[in-house]
Amino acid sequence: MRILLIAEQRQGKWNKVSFETLAAAQQLATETGGRLVAALPGQGIRALAEELAGYRLDEVLVVEHERLEPYTADGFTLALRQLIEREAPELVLLPHTYQVRDFAPKLAAALGRALLADCIGYRYENGRVVFVRQMFQGRTAADVTFAGPPPWLATIQAGAFRADQLERGSSPAPVRAVSVELSPEQIRVRPGELFREAKQAVDLTQAPVIVAVGRGIKEKENIALAEKLAKLLGGELAASRPICDEGWLPMERQIGSSGQTVAPKLYIALGISGAIQHVVGMKGSRTIVAINKDPNAPIFEIADYGIVADLFEIVPALNEALEQSASS
Amino acid sequence: MKIAVCVKQVPAKDAPLHIAPDGTWIRETDISFEMNEPDSYALEEALRLKEKHGGEVVAISLGPERAKQTLKEALAKGADRAIHIADEEFYRLDPLAAAQALARALEPERCDLVLTGLQSDDHGFGQTGVLLAELLGLPHATIIMSIEVQDGSLRLKRELEAGWFQWIELPLPALLTIQSGINKVRYATLKGIMAAKKKEIRTIPRTELLPSLAPTQKLERIYVPEKTKKTEFLQGPPKEVAAKLLEKLKHEARVLGSS
C-alpha cells in the first residue's frame, strides 16, 4: 500500500504525535508491502525534513510556501490537496492533533474521500486494513474500514503507537522539495499570536502522586475530600475537563488532551469515567488506581487497581487510614 | 445575525450501553438520551450572540424521531425554530453523508454563522462541523473558547494543545466548532417550555435531501474493548478496601512510603 504520512511541526518544533504516527506508518508499510513517503508542510523547515529522512522511509517531501506559516486551515487544505492529487497515495496518515482536527475533515471533503479519525490501532487482514477507533467516549471500540476508491485518510491518536519503536534507515532517505500554489485571497483566516492564559503556577508533571477528580465528585464542595487525600499522599490535586469547565478547579489543573500530560508514580482517578481525551494525558502513570461506581467505566481498562464503589465511602476511609498511620 | 446551530441527541452519560444484535449500534430501548454536551455549549453561544446582536437562532438536528426531543429543548431554551432531518438509521451514515444532508438543509437558510459542538459523545468522529464548512464553502475555525463579533468579521479565541491558545480572525459568514466550557449553559424555564410549544419544527426526510448514499467508510462492528492491562479489583467494606489498597500501594506497587 502506498502510504503518505503528513508530519506536523509548529514554528519549527515537532508535534511528537508525528513520530508515533510514523511508527504506525512504518508498521503498515512493512505489513502491506508498500512505499512510505513522509511530507512536511510549512516554511523554513528543511532541517526538520532532513531529520525525518533519517528514519526508515522511501522519501521525504518538503512542502514549503510562505503562506503555510503560520498555519491556516485554508492554506494547509489547498496545499495538501495538490500534494495528494499529484503523489496519488492510497493511504494518508496524520497525527490526531488539534491542528489536524482543524483541517483534515476539510481536506477529506475537498477530495470527496473518507477520514477515519482518532484511530488507536489497526489489523491487516485479507488484504485490507481494518482500523480500530473508540466510540461512546471509550465505552466501546469500533472496527472501521474504508469504502470507495483511494486516497483514504486516517488520523492516529496520541499514545496509540510508540515512537521508541521507530526504525532508523540504513542511509538517509532522499528529500525532495514540492511546490504548491497558494494565492493570498484563498486564505480567509487571519491567525494571530499563540499565547498561554497564565503562567502555570502548578506543574503537575513534577508531582509524584496525583489525585484527580471527575464528574463523579458531583459538587464543588466535595473536592475538599480529594484535596485532603492528595495532601496526605504528598501529591497534587488534578481534574478531568468537565470539572474545570464548571470552574470548580482552575484550568491549569486539567489533565488530558487540552490540559497537561502527566506520568506520576501514582495516579488516583476518583469518579473519572476515562474518556480518551482524559486518558491520553495520564495513561503513562506507573500505577493507576480507579475508584468509580460504574463497573463498565473505561478507566478500569487501564487501572492497576480498581474499586467499584461509591467514592464518598472509600475516600473518607482512605483519608482516615492515612491519618492514623501518620500519627502512629 | 442569523445563526444555525447543529445539535445531536446522544445516549445520556450514565446510560448503560448494550450492543445491538447487528453489532453496529447500541440497543436503544430502556436508555435515556440527551443533547450532546459540546452542542449544548454551541446552542448557548448562539443564544447569547442573538441576545447581544439580534437576529434568529435555528436549531437543526439529524436523527430518528426521538431527536425531536432535543430540538424541543433547544426551542425551550430560546431557539426560534427548528429543522429535523429525519433518518431512523442515522447511525449508518458516514460523517460525510451526515454533513451533506445538513449542508443541503442549511444552504437555503443563508446563515451568517453556523455553530456545532466540536464532537459528539456517541460516534465521536469530530468531523461534522469542518466537513459542513467545506461543503457550504464557509471559512471555519475549531475548538473555539470565545467569540467577539466585529462588523463583518469574528475575533475568536482558539484552544490549542497543552494550555496554549490563539486569537484568530475570520470573515462572516463562517462556521465554528465550539469547545465545552466556553460558557455556562442555561436551563430551560417553564415559560420557555410553554413558548416552545408554539414554535415550528420542520421535518425533512434525509432521503429527500440525500436520496442515494455512496459510503466512504464502513462501521464493521462495535464491541466492548478488550482489556490491555490486568486490573486487580478490590472488594469489601470501605474500611477494609481502603486498608487493602494502601497495603498494595506500599508493598506490591511500591509507590508509597511504608512508614
For B221-259, the DSSP string reads EEEPPPPSS-PEEP-SSHHHHHHHHHHHHHHTS--S---
Domain range list for chain A = 2-192, 198-327
Residue B190 has pLDDT above 90, yes or no: yes
C-beta of residue B37 within 8 angstroms of C-beta of residue B22: no
pLDDT, residue A11, reads 86
Cα dist from A47 to A169, A204, B101, B178, B201, whole Å:
17, 33, 44, 36, 57
Q: pLDDT above 90 covers what percent of chain A? A: 77
Q: Which residue of A has its CA nearest to B18?
A: A140
pLDDT at A99 over 90: yes
Distances B225 to A138, A155, B24 between C-alpha atoms, Å: 8, 19, 14
Residue pair B24/B219 in contact (Cβ under 8 Å)? The answer is yes
Which residues from chain B sit within 8 angstroms of residue A188, using beta carbons?
139, 170-171
The percent of chain B in helix, strand and coil, each rounded to the nearest 5, is 30, 30, 40
User: Across residues B88-110, what is the average pLDDT?
Assistant: 96
> CA–CA distance from A138 to each of A83, A105, A165, A230, A306 (Å)?
34, 21, 25, 27, 17
Looking at chain B, how many residues does it have? Answer: 259
Pairwise CA distance, residues A235 & A326, whole Å: 15
Closest partner CB to B220 (pick from A77, A130, A304):
A130
pLDDT exceeds cutoff 60 at A79: yes
Mutate to test the interface with B, among A126, A137, A229 (most CBs of B within 10 A): A137
**Higher pLDDT among residues B32 and B227, named by residue:** B32
User: Which pLDDT score, from 0 to 100, does residue B129 have?
Assistant: 97
Q: What is the pTM of this model?
A: 0.87
Calculate how close chain B gets to A169, using CA atoms only, in Å.
31
Mean pLDDT of chain A: 93
Using a CB-CB distance cutoff of 8 angstroms, which residues of chain A are in contact with residue B8? none
Tally of CB atoms within 10 A around B21 = 8
Alpha-carbon gap, residue A320 to B237, rounded angstroms: 14
- Nearest of A156, A178, A221 to residue A62 by alpha carbon: A178
Taking each continuous run of H as one helix and of E as one strand, the counts in chain B are 7, 13
User: Which among B10, B160, B221, B224 is the top mutation candidate for probing chain A, defined by the most A β-carbons within 10 Å of its own β-carbon?
Assistant: B160
User: What number is the average pLDDT over the span A296-302?
Assistant: 91
| Mean pLDDT in residue range B87-112 | 96
pLDDT of A35 > 50? The answer is yes
Cβ–Cβ of B134/A141 closer than 8 Å? no
CB B145 within 8 A of CB B179: yes
Q: Choose among A109, A118, A197: nearest Cβ to B135.
A: A109
**Region label for A103, one of left (φ > 0), alpha (ψ between -120 and 50) or beta (otherwise):** alpha
The residue-averaged pLDDT of B123-134 equals: 96
Q: Which residues of A287-306 are buried (b: 16+ CB within 10 A; e: fewer)?
A: bbbbbbebeebbbbbbbbbb
Output the pLDDT for position A83.
Answer: 98
CA of B139: how far to CAs of A148, A269, B158, in Å?
Answer: 27, 40, 14
- Sheet containing A115-125: order of strands: A175-178, A59-64, A36-42, A3-6, A91-95, A152-156, A115-125, A128-135, A140-146, B217-223
pLDDT per position as a tens digit, B13-66: 888 889 999 899 999 988 999 999 999 999 999 999 999 999 999 999 999 999
- B198 touching chain A per CB within 8 A: no
Q: Which pLDDT band holds residue A42 (cuts at 50, 70, 90)?
A: very high
Q: Is the pLDDT of residue B162 over 80?
A: no
φ/ψ region of A137 (left if φ > 0, alpha if ψ in -120 to 50, else beta) reads left
B190 touches chain A (CB under 8 A): no
Are B231 and A106 a contacting pair at CB < 8 A? no
Here the ipTM equals 0.90
Q: Reduce the DSSP state of residue B92 to 3 states and report it.
A: helix
Can you tell me which residue has the cell 443564544? B47
The pLDDT, as a whole number, for residue B258 is: 54
Q: Mean pLDDT across the stretch B181-199?
A: 94
Tell me if B245 and A289 make a contact (CB, 8 A cut-off).
Answer: yes
pLDDT for residue B259 is more than 50? no
Q: 3-class SS at B203? A: strand
pLDDT, averaged across chain B? 94
Query: Which domains are assigned to chain B?
Result: 2-209 (3.40.50.620), 229-259 (no CATH)
Residues A264-284, mean pLDDT to the nearest whole number: 91
Strands (E), chain A: 3-6, 9-10, 13-14, 36-42, 59-64, 91-95, 115-125, 128-135, 140-146, 152-156, 175-178, 190-196, 209-213, 236-239, 266-270, 287-292, 305-308
Nine cell digits for residue A272: 473519572
Q: Which residue has 525534513 as its cell numbers?
A: A49
Q: Which residues of A touch B185 (CB under 8 A)?
A: none
Q: How far apart are CA A154 and CA A176, in angstroms?
A: 24
- Going by C-alpha positions, the residue among B7, B187, B174 that lies closest to residue B85 is B7
Candidates A309, A303, A295; CA nearest to A278 is A303
User: Look-up: residue for cell 450532546?
Assistant: B36
Answer whether B223 sits within 8 Å of A141, measured CB to CB: yes
Q: How far is A173 from chain B (nearest CA, A)?
A: 31
Mean pLDDT of A121-145: 92
CA distances from B146 to A258, B101, B253 (A): 16, 28, 44
Is the pLDDT at A46 greater than 60? The verdict is yes
Residues of B with Cβ-Cβ distance to A18 under 8 angstroms? none
Phi, psi of B240 (to 5 degrees): -65, -45
Is a pLDDT exceeding 70 seen at residue A297? yes
**Distance, CA of A1 to chain centre:** 25
CATH of region A2-192, choose from 3.30.450.20, 3.40.50.970, 3.40.50.620, 3.40.50.740: 3.40.50.620
- Could you say which of A136, A189, A197 has the minimum Cβ distance to residue B139? A189
Q: Is A322 helix (H, G, I), strand (E, B) or coil?
A: helix
Sign (positive or negative) of CA dihedral B241, B243, B244, B249: positive
CATH topology assigned to domain A198-327: Rossmann fold (3.40.50)
pLDDT digits (tens, 9 = 90+) for A139-186: 899 999 999 999 999 999 888 898 888 999 999 999 999 999 999 999
CB contact under 8 A, A141 and B218: no
The distance of B249 to chain A (nearest Cα, Å) reads 8
Mention every residue, 6+ apart, whose C-beta is less than 8 A from residue A120.
A132, A133, A134, A141, A156, A157, A160, A276
Residue of B nearest to A296 (CA): B16
